[in-house]
């Protein structure tokens, strides 16, 4: 209870983007809701703006004309000057967004907005005609949506009432209670399996793979519709050892229709690292080409795992 006659405040979540007409995040045409905040810090992450749970201001240097308007607007004195200098002093910035609103050139961007379930529902329901015609629906991604399991459950309950298909894209590092809460309202899970070895997983993502593998086994035991995904990162996730360990884990589940989808690593997120003044750790790694992706796919098939490539 929050007090006599008072109702609990509706759940809120920080959302970085709501992207329509996606065809790579579940069946059919989908709208993807990107949640901010992730328990992992994968070196190859293409969405660094989703790592922190809080709103952030990014600076796109190539669009800046050095007009100085933003520094006049900022009440916190968080705007630095000078060519070649990242404009945001994050030790002072409160992410209020006033500088973003005042920049006429799009050089400042606000990553993340606090939204309620009705806020998100009002947007995703507008594309219901496309979901109905394509067998699509709503996917929650991130970041890690299971960090806001209550929010996801309420959103998906609304989707279910309107017969809209639901899907969760997860890194798997979540409390078991969160999984239990969302299973009844979730049609599909897209579950990342990056590295099986716990030490390697911690080296490249910051956390061990233990809880992730336990949650994967739990979902398979519950008989949910699940597709496993693996980022294809050259010399990291595509090693013989990791492929053999992944195949052994999937086959060891006893689930006959288990499948793995390869997600070739790309470098399209580099600009967002620069915008957030974050170091990009993958400069020495080339994108995974078609030839390598096909070779890894064949290797998994030879290991007895049904495998596809996300294009």
Q: Where are the strands (E) in the chain, listed by range?
A: 12-22, 30-35, 56-59, 108-111, 113-116, 137-141, 165-170, 188-192, 226-232, 259-264, 306-309
Cβ atoms of 210 and 249 within 8 Å: the answer is no
Q: Decide: helix, strand or coil at residue 297.
A: helix
> Within the chain, which residue ranges are assigned CATH 3.30.70.20?
56-111
Q: What pLDDT, on the 0 to 100 scale, is given for residue 5?
A: 64
Separation CA 216–CA 189 (nearest Å) = 10
Q: What pLDDT, on the 0 to 100 scale, is given for residue 253?
A: 84
Q: Decide: helix, strand or coil at residue 61.
A: helix
What is the Cβ-side half-sphere exposure of residue 186, based on CA atoms within 13 angstroms? 30
pTM score, two decimals? 0.93
Q: What pLDDT, on the 0 to 100 scale, is given for residue 254?
A: 80
- Reference 202, options 38, 49, 51, 43; nearest CA is 43
What is the Cβ-side half-sphere exposure of residue 253, based on CA atoms within 13 angstroms? 25
Bridge partners (DSSP) listed for residue 32: 19, 139
Superfamily grouping for domain 12-53+135-309: Aldolase class I (3.20.20.70)
Q: Return the CATH architecture of domain 56-111.
A: 2-Layer Sandwich (3.30)
Other CB atoms closer than 10 Å to residue 106's CB: what's the count?
Answer: 10
> Within the chain, which residue ranges are assigned CATH 3.20.20.70?
12-53+135-309
Other CB atoms closer than 10 Å to residue 129's CB: what's the count?
Answer: 9
Contacts 24+ apart (CB under 8 A), 273-278: 273/48, 274/61, 275/49, 275/58, 275/59, 275/60, 275/109, 276/48, 276/49, 276/56, 276/58, 276/111, 277/59, 277/86, 277/88, 277/90, 278/48
- pLDDT tens digits for the chain (311 residues)? 455 667 777 789 999 999 999 999 999 999 999 999 999 999 999 999 999 999 999 999 999 999 889 999 999 999 988 777 899 999 999 999 999 999 999 999 999 999 999 999 999 999 999 999 999 999 999 999 999 999 999 999 999 999 999 999 999 999 999 999 999 999 999 999 999 999 999 999 999 999 999 999 999 999 999 999 999 999 999 999 999 999 999 999 888 788 999 999 998 899 999 999 999 999 989 888 999 999 999 999 999 999 999 98
């Amino acid at each position: 209870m929050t007090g006599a006659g008072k109702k609990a405040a509706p759940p809120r979540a920080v959302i970085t983007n709501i992207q329509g007409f996606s065809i790579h995040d579940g069946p059919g045409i989908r709208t993807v809701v990107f949640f901010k905040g992730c328990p992992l810090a994968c070196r190859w992450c293409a969405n660094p703006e989703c790592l922190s749970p809080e709103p952030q201001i990014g600076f796109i240097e190539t669009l800046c004309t050095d007009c100085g308007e933003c520094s006049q607007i900022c009440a916190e004195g968080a705007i630095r000057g000078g060519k070649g200098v990242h404009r945001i002093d994050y030790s002072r910035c409160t992410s209020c967004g006033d500088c973003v609103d005042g920049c006429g050139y799009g050089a400042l961007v606000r990553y993340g907005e606090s939204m309620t379930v009705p806020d998100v529902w009002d947007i995703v329901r507008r594309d219901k005609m496309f979901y109905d015609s394509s067998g699509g629906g709503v996917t929650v991604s991130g970041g890690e949506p299971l960090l806001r399991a209550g929010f996801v459950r309420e959103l998906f309950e609304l989707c279910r009432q309107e017969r809209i298909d639901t899907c969760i894209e997860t890194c798997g590092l979540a409390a078991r209670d969160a999984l239990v809460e969302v299973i009844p309202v979730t049609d599909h899970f897209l579950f990342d399996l990056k590295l099986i070895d716990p030490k390697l997983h911690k080296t490249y993502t910051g956390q061990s793979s233990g809880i992730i593998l336990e949650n994967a086994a739990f979902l398979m035991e519950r008989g949910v519709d699940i597709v496993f995904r693996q980022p294809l990162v050259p010399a990291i996730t595509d090693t013989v050892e990791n492929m053999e360990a992944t195949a052994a884990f999937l086959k060891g589940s006893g689930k006959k229709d288990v499948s793995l989808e390869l997600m070739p690593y790309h470098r399209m997120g580099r600009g967002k690292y620069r915008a957030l003044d974050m170091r990009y750790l993958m400069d020495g790694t080339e994108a995974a080409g078609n030839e390598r992706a096909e070779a890894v796919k064949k290797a998994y098939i030879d290991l007895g795992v049904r495998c596809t490539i996300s294009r």
